[in-house]
Amino acid sequence: MARTEVLVAGAGPTGLVLALWLAKQGVRLRIIDKGDGSPTTSRALVVHARTLELYRQLGIADEIIKLGHKLRAGNWWASGGYRARAPLGNVAIGVSPYPFMFILPQDIHERFLAQKLLDLFGISVERRTELVDFVDHGTHVSVKLTHYRENGVQEAEDCEALYVAGCDGAGSRVRHVLNIPFSGGTYEQLFYVADIEGSGKTLNGEGHVNIVPNDFLLVFGYGENGRARLAGRVEAERSKTLSENVTFEDVALHAVEALYIKVEKVNWFSTYHVHHRVADQFRKGRAFIVGDAGHIHSPAGGQGMNTGIGDAINLAWKLAAVIHNRAEDSILDSFDAERRPFAQMLVQTTDRAFSMVTANGPIVSFLRTYIVALLLPIVLWIPFVMPRLFRRMSQTNLNYRGTSLAEGQAGKVFGGDRLPWVAIENGPDNFEPLSTIAWQVHVYGTAKDELVKWCEAQDIALHPFPWSKVYGKKGLVRDAAYLIRPDSYIAVANVSGRAGEFDSYLQKRSIRDISTKR
């Protein structure tokens, strides 16, 4: 019987990133997917700054950026009239090394990640392979798989894993086997998405939103080649009339023409319903649900795929710690405690935004078409608006304050915060050491002798950065010590700069070994 340490079910971006992070940390794994590996359609398009920061830890961020497109600006139209433009290129300099909105179609994204998994670690996705059932025995999980061969033959396989990660989407088989409720609902409206090629002044590599009284159209350009992603809503009456046999010509031409787009080719078109659901728990014994298997919500803000990737990385370092006997199994409970509240908050906020954009009725329509169009240009000129919006959408402001793995405060920085990014002129930034994917200590100023000795004894990297006022502006305290988790969140913010608080933190959480050795 085949045995592995982690079985990853599902090879979308969430499953592939989980596999990459596990493999990088020396965990044996299998990754399976019931599809054949040739996705040509996808709704996920935006890769946010926080995801790119985490990709940098794998050493793949620069390659990803070459594949996609930086969105220079977003434009607001109302009833066919141009209203406002929001520059998005380097909109939040100083917040992240990636202060822009980045576009990369999911099918290209997935193929890149799968190839990296093979090139870097020799791990291939096992395609046409489905998890059918599993049993948690307390010490391991026994799994039943079905392989669907190209000749139509189905082959059954029994295998074992220490843990199972369900990255298998909204219809997750892993979640169904675990019998975890998926609380929430579904919007009544029918929506569409299309990948097109064409010409026109709005196919200029920028984003466009066109609001009309009872409809809207989103346009995201891939670049300067006239290719774009369109998304919108099917009018309620037309949705009932057309049922499921909706075509691009049925729903989109009037909205497209309002933005002066001439469609020359429709590469693909699909309709879908939007759901808003969060699973009642993300962990049950030795099985986890990750990404869309645990939470789905409206596409407002492009949060879904990025949140799934964040889930994967949060889980990966904890699984590696337990599998390598560096921490007790109880640390895995923090996956649910840290990620599920964020998913719940995300569903609520995207629900409000989505409802505002899609709601029917004369009052809402008037507000959306005229009042928002009037106020938006004014609001966008307020200096702090775009950087604040960037922090929220990019997930760089996501934190785990008050959870079991967060402790302390030093200046404006708390345990549980993402490490603030700081770049010093003519020098490396403070994210450079994070590529090791390991525990480490940062000191901005001078490290105390006892801290230096503690780090040597623990075999953990200590990174002292000569003090600069720039660090202070980011809320960091001179000579304080920050214990950084492998996912670049701060575990302990220690204003004293001494090592005693770190020992206490690790002992209370049954973390035995944070050394850099594998």
Give the DSSP letter string of 460-479: -EEEEE---HHHHHTT--TT
Minimum mean pLDDT range among 40-49, 192-201, 455-464: 40-49
CB 318 within 8 A of CB 335: yes
Segments of the chain assigned to CATH 3.30.9.10: 69-101+186-275+368-398
Domain spanning 69-101+186-275+368-398 has what CATH number? Answer: 3.30.9.10
What is the token pair recorded at 167? 């990255």
In this model, does residue 12 exceed pLDDT 90? yes
Q: 372 falls in which pLDDT band (50, 70, 90)?
A: confident
CB 274 within 8 A of CB 298: yes
- Residue 421 DSSP class: P
Segments of the chain assigned to CATH 3.50.50.60: 2-65+104-181+280-350
Q: What percent of the chain has pLDDT over 70?
A: 91
Q: Is 391 left (phi over 0), alpha (psi -120 to 50) or beta?
A: alpha
Residue with token string 């801290």: 451
Q: 237 falls in which pLDDT band (50, 70, 90)?
A: low
In this model, does residue 212 exceed pLDDT 80? no
In this model, does residue 163 exceed pLDDT 90? yes
Select the highest-mean-pLDDT range: 154-168, 207-221, 272-286, 339-353: 154-168
Q: Is 454 left (phi over 0), alpha (psi -120 to 50) or beta?
A: alpha
**Helix axes of 49-58 and 385-394: crossing angle, nearest 10 degrees:** 50
Q: 218 falls in which pLDDT band (50, 70, 90)?
A: confident
Which is higher by pLDDT, 459 or 271?
459
Nearest to 418 by CA among 495, 514, 489, 317: 489
* pLDDT at position 427: 77
* pLDDT at position 329: 97
In this model, does residue 437 exceed pLDDT 70? yes
Nearest to 132 by CA among 142, 146, 149: 146
Q: 214 falls in which pLDDT band (50, 70, 90)?
A: low
* pLDDT at position 271: 85
Segments of the chain assigned to CATH 3.40.30.120: 407-508
Q: Provide the edge-to-edge strand list for the sheet that holds 490-494.
A: 413-414, 407-410, 490-494, 481-484, 440-444, 461-465
Mean pLDDT of 391-395: 90
* pLDDT at position 191: 85
* pLDDT at position 347: 82
* pLDDT at position 356: 64
* pLDDT at position 254: 67
* CATH class held by domain 407-508: alpha beta
Determine the Cα–Cα distance for residues 497 and 355; give it in Å rounded to an integer. Answer: 48
Q: 80 falls in which pLDDT band (50, 70, 90)?
A: low
Minimum mean pLDDT range among 298-312, 318-332, 451-465: 298-312
- Residue 327 DSSP class: B
* pLDDT at position 308: 96
Domain spanning 2-65+104-181+280-350 has what CATH number? Answer: 3.50.50.60
* pLDDT at position 245: 75
Mean pLDDT of 182-190: 86
Mean pLDDT of 182-198: 87
Determine the Cα–Cα distance for residues 501 and 2; give it in Å rounded to an integer. Answer: 43
In this model, does residue 255 exceed pLDDT 80? no
Q: 174 falls in which pLDDT band (50, 70, 90)?
A: very high
What is Dmax (Cα atoms) for the chain?
Answer: 75
Question: What is the value of pTM for the model shown?
Answer: 0.93
Select the highest-mean-pLDDT range: 72-86, 176-190, 340-354, 474-488: 474-488
What is the token pair recorded at 154? 């189905």
* pLDDT at position 288: 98
Mean pLDDT of 397-413: 96
Mean pLDDT of 477-499: 97
* pLDDT at position 74: 87
Contacting residues for 361 by C-beta, under 8 A, at least 6 apart: none
Q: What mean pLDDT value characterizes the chain?
A: 90
* pLDDT at position 25: 96
Nearest to 45 by CA among 252, 184, 221, 279: 221
In this model, does residue 223 exceed pLDDT 80? no
